[in-house]
Amino acid sequence: MNIAVLGSGGREHALAWSLAKSPKCGRLYAIPGNGGTAQVAENVANLDICNGEALCGFVRYHDIDLVVIGPEAPLVAGVADALRSAGALVFGPGAQGAQLEGSKTFSKRFMERVGIPTAEYGTFDNAEEAKAYARRMGAPVVVKADGLAAGKGVIVADNLDDALEAIDECFSGHFGDAGSRVVVEECLTGPECSLLAFVTAGKAFCMTTAQDHKRAYDGDLGPNTGGMGVYSPVPIVEPEELSAMQRAMQQAAAATAEAPFEHDYRGVLYGGFMLTPQGPKVLEFNARFGDPETQVILPRLKSDLVDVMVAVAAGKPEDVHLEWRDEWAVAVVLASEGYPGPYEKGKVILGIDEAEAVDDVIVFHAGTALNQDEELVTAGGRVLNVVALGKSFEEARGRCYDAVERINFEGKRFRTDIGAKAAAGRSSWE
Ligand code: AMP
Ligand code: GLY
């Protein structure tokens, strides 16, 4: 089978790495890919991953059997629909299904209709009504730009002034069109936990739990980032919480196949949960694999990812079989100095082989490139994802940080406390 993966982050390196392991994988393309995907696939530059027509041409010319869409932008832009109508097998929902991520209002209304536990909310097209609702709700309160804002459109306001300012900021065009509608939401408390599921023909096949670390600095301080580290599974989740999360994912999957939605959803549904004292509630749905969650989930997958993705893309739930390694996985993100603000690129990266010499360590590339001298250099804010597996959480964490120390580039930054709270137990969230 010839396969194309769309996207250029650590998630896409993990996807390409996992697909390439399958004996069924023929030619593998990464569009545009990065320095890591180049090791397992052919990178294709100069093709816009949001241009359905151009991608259809590529798929025909290169005889591609399966297209795997990594990021949200092409999903929301309807690239899966365009490729499907041209006859390709596509892993990823069409534009309608992707609205679960592309519009917070759509997603909240979906949850309300289906009966999935979530925060109380109001949705507004003008600042005055949004402010009135925020005042009624009182601080702390959460303000969300409705559309895609690259993970930056959510403001958790500790006081009312910050909430009102955030509302003004959304409507002033700060987030572009994404902010022309705003969701104001009850502030929930508790540990966060992600549960991703393969969804096809109204059925959800849940993966294992994972927990991201979104803040830039140790102790969950500093600005929000695309994710600084992650581990899987999440040891602090109680069995009844896991059942409630799985139930929510099944409910959501079933609803995508029924009226009034009928999305024919074929891809990953990502549930971002908060484990509140009243039980798990959904903070957000994403219509794709998480980044960096994928980098700890896929190394734990024993089943052949090509088989799973083909079954999902073909709408054949009877052919989806998932088996997991009974191991823990921890990933630490190595970032460029300054990230998530401005940072320099082009710093030479050394020590990846030495890091991968540690037992059960894999290094996925997130923002790397080869320079004119064919040296591997930094090319993004998040540069590398160092992933380690282990028989225990402590073993995986120990191996991961051992490997992290072996990699060097100028300005290397990382969090030293990935998984520390989980290791300390549930009480560390209270
Ligand atoms: P989202 O993009 O909706 O996942 O929001 C990004 C982050 O904002 C989440 O990971 C949470 O940490 C936080 N957040 C979102 N919604 C809420 C909420 N209702 N209460 C508290 N925190 C929230
Ligand atoms: N790790 C969060 C996300 O992928 O949205």
CA of 291 relative to ligand 2 center, distance in Å: 5
> 315 falls in which pLDDT band (50, 70, 90)?
very high
One-letter amino acid of 338: G
DSSP 324: B
CA nearest ligand 1 atom 18, residue: 187
CA nearest ligand 1 atom 9, residue: 283
Checking phi first, is residue 314 left (phi over 0); if not, alpha (psi -120 to 50) or beta?
A: alpha
Task: Please report the pLDDT score of residue 172 as a whole number.
Answer: 83
Integer Cα distance of 421 and 139 in angstroms: 26
CA of 372 relative to ligand 2 center, distance in Å: 32
**Ligand whose nearest atom lies closest to the CA of 149:** 1
**Ligand whose nearest atom lies closest to the CA of 286:** 2
CA nearest ligand 1 atom 12, residue: 192
Atom of ligand 1 nearest to the CA of 212: 10
**Ligand whose nearest atom lies closest to the CA of 229:** 2
- The larger pLDDT score, comparing residue 425 to residue 58, is at 58
Q: Tell me: pLDDT of 179 over 70.
A: no
CA of 358 relative to ligand 2 center, distance in Å: 27
CA nearest ligand 2 atom 3, residue: 290
CA of 226 relative to ligand 2 center, distance in Å: 7
Q: Tell me: pLDDT of 427 over 80.
A: no
| Cα–Cα separations (whole angstroms), residue 259 to 157, 290, 318 | 36, 27, 22
Helical packing angle, 95-102 and 104-114, nearest 10°: 100
Atom of ligand 2 nearest to the CA of 286: 5
Integer Cα distance of 48 and 46 in angstroms: 6
DSSP sequence for 213-252: --EEETTTEEEE-S-SEEEES-TT--HHHHHHHHHHHHHH
CA nearest ligand 1 atom 8, residue: 154
Task: Please report the pLDDT score of residue 178 as a whole number.
Answer: 62
| Cα–Cα separations (whole angstroms), residue 109 to 100, 125, 409 | 10, 15, 46
Q: Tell me: pLDDT of 82 over 90.
A: yes
Task: Please report the pLDDT score of residue 281 as a whole number.
Answer: 98
Residue 232 in contact with ligand 2 by CB distance below 6 A: no
Residues 64 and 4: beta-carbon distance below 8 Å: yes
One-letter amino acid of 385: N
Residue 156 in contact with ligand 1 by CB distance below 6 A: yes
Q: Tell me: pLDDT of 177 over 90.
A: no
Q: What is the pLDDT of residues 203-240, one digit of tens each?
A: 999 999 999 998 999 999 998 888 999 999 999 999 99
Nearest to 423 by CA among 262, 211, 216: 211
Mean pLDDT, rounded, of the chain: 94
Instruction: Look up residue 367 and give its two tokens.
Output: 């923002």
Residue 188 in contact with ligand 1 by CB distance below 6 A: yes
Give me the mean pLDDT over the 73-97 stretch: 96
Least confident of 172-181, 211-220, 317-326, 387-396: 172-181
> 374 falls in which pLDDT band (50, 70, 90)?
confident
Q: Tell me: pLDDT of 361 over 80.
A: yes
Least confident of 82-91, 170-179, 223-232: 170-179
